[in-house]
Amino acid sequence: MQRVELSAFGLSNLRFNEVPVPAPAAGEVLLKVMACSINYRDLMIANGHYKTDIPLPLVPLSDCCGVIEAVGSGVSDFAPGDRVVSLLWQDWLSGPLCADQRTQSPGCETTGVLSEYAVLPATGIAAAPESLTAAEAACLPAAGLTAFTALTTLGQLQPGDTLLTLGTGGVSLFALQFAKAMGANAVVTSSSDEKLARARDLGADHTINYRLNDRWGEACFELTGGADVVVETGGAGTLNQSMAALGYSGRIAYIGGLAGFAGETSLMPLVIKNASVHGITVGSKADHLRMTRFVGQHQIKPVIDRECSFAQSIDAIAAIGEGAHFGKLVVSF
């Protein structure tokens, strides 16, 4: 079978390699991979900007949808023919995160899924929603679940509340779709008026171009009276405006670093607004299963910017850094 391997940090060190199809050991399943989605994390890992104490060569990507070909001994929850998705945190099954539940994720600490076949522990997969194609289901594990836990477990978003979500990447558009399905109002920012028009088509109530208005957070507060939940994908470079956008008693779900990981800021606005900022690291398997039910109930279709072939997948990892996409980039086999 063919798989992609990263032999050393740097995108130019990604190559296709031919290896034997692996056999599942006890407690594992063998998947025939049908689709993978690419996350910003995958680009950071490949460039050595995420974690550097990981085993090389590494097969990239955490998120896939596939069909089970074979199961190892002791696997009773799944059978050959089942259509499943990978989970990002393989050992965070439920409850609040503990230190030993954030140690195993495909495409980083363990072998990833950009491969014609992949072996995963049976605990680290979940049934794919029947309402979704393989390409759509492959978008759920990281981007979908991160947005879902930001709005539910952390955000406690209620009907009539206001969500602010930054940019039009994978996490942000899931947040928009989930918020609208929950009956909330949604504000979306983007660097592109064309992308903002597409966000309005998806239900965004207000849109702000952050390139044209660097006080987009204050603009959001004026438009809405303050956001109840902010999906903070920008990080340190956007936090000041996110706090300006936040309503009294609001919650910032601190997720990404698209606008930088460190910077000068004062958290005093949180004191004044009796508000909070809370980190999110995707979610547990129990959260994933709740999201899957929600996606099915509300017939939510992940937004895919484009699907590429396995042969084009290395270029697609590079493309995520260009930021031209609206929603998810997917590799279909």
Ligand X SMILES: NC(=O)c1ccc[n+]([C@@H]2O[C@H](COP(=O)([O-])OP(=O)(O)OC[C@H]3O[C@@H](n4cnc5c(N)ncnc54)[C@H](OP(=O)(O)O)[C@@H]3O)[C@@H](O)[C@H]2O)c1
The partner residues of 20 in beta bridges, in order of sequence, read: none
Q: Note whether 143 binds ligand X by CB under 6 A.
A: yes
Q: Note whether 195 binds ligand X by CB under 6 A.
A: yes
Q: Note whether 156 binds ligand X by CB under 6 A.
A: no
Q: Residue 68 or residue 196: which is nearer to ligand X going by CB?
A: 196
> Which of 55-63, 73-81, 170-178, 307-315 is the region at the interface with ligand X (rule: CB under 6 A)?
170-178
Please count the residues of this chain forming the interface with ligand X, following the rule CB under 6 A.
33
15-26 as b/e: b if 16+ CB within 10 A: eeeeeeebebee
CB of 110 to ligand X, least distance (A): 17
Among 62, 168, 207, 242, binds ligand X (CB under 6 A): 168
Among 120, 132, 142, 300, binds ligand X (CB under 6 A): 142
> Which of 127-135, 175-183, 277-285, 291-299 is the region at the interface with ligand X (rule: CB under 6 A)?
277-285
Asked whether the beta carbons of 211 and 168 are under 8 A apart, the reply is no
Q: Note whether 191 binds ligand X by CB under 6 A.
A: yes
Cα separation, 153 vs 51, in Å, equals: 27
CB of 207 to ligand X, least distance (A): 10
Q: Which run of H or of E encompasses 65?
A: strand 63-71
Enumerate long-range contacts of 66-70, CB under 8 Å, 24 or more apart: 66/31, 66/32, 66/33, 66/34, 66/35, 66/113, 66/118, 66/134, 67/31, 67/32, 67/34, 68/29, 68/30, 68/31, 68/32, 69/30, 69/31, 69/32, 69/117, 70/23, 70/24, 70/29, 70/30
Q: Note whether 86 binds ligand X by CB under 6 A.
A: no
Among 255, 314, 316, 319, binds ligand X (CB under 6 A): 255
Q: Residue 67 or residue 202: which is nearer to ligand X going by CB?
A: 202
> Which of 109-117, 217-225, 278-286, 311-319 is the region at the interface with ligand X (rule: CB under 6 A)?
278-286
Q: Residue 146 or residue 177: which is nearer to ligand X going by CB?
A: 146
Question: Which residue matches tokens 């992940």?
Answer: 302
> Which of 114-122, 155-163, 190-198, 285-293 is the region at the interface with ligand X (rule: CB under 6 A)?
190-198
CA dihedral 128, 32, 329, 202 (to 10 degrees): -20
Q: Residue 170 or residue 250: which is nearer to ligand X going by CB?
A: 170
Residue 165 corresponds to which tokens in the numbers above? 């979500």
Q: Residue 116 or residue 305: which is nearer to ligand X going by CB?
A: 305
> Which of 26-34, 91-99, 124-132, 230-238 is the region at the interface with ligand X (rule: CB under 6 A)?
230-238
CB of 37 to ligand X, least distance (A): 9
Q: Residue 233 or residue 332: which is nearer to ligand X going by CB?
A: 233
Transcribe 257-296 into DSSP letters.
-TT-S------HHHHHTT-EEEE-----HHHHHHHHHHHH
Q: Residue 117 or residue 174: which is nearer to ligand X going by CB?
A: 174
Asked whether the beta carbons of 46 and 14 are under 8 A apart, the reply is yes
Q: Note whether 256 binds ligand X by CB under 6 A.
A: yes
Q: Helices marked H in the chain — which ranges?
A: 40-46, 134-137, 145-149, 170-181, 193-201, 216-224, 239-245, 268-272, 285-297, 313-319
Q: Note whether 233 binds ligand X by CB under 6 A.
A: yes
CB atoms within 10 A of CB 101: 18
Given the rule CB under 6 A, which residues bind ligand X? 39-41, 142-143, 146, 166-172, 189-192, 195, 210, 233-234, 237-238, 255-259, 280-282, 320, 323
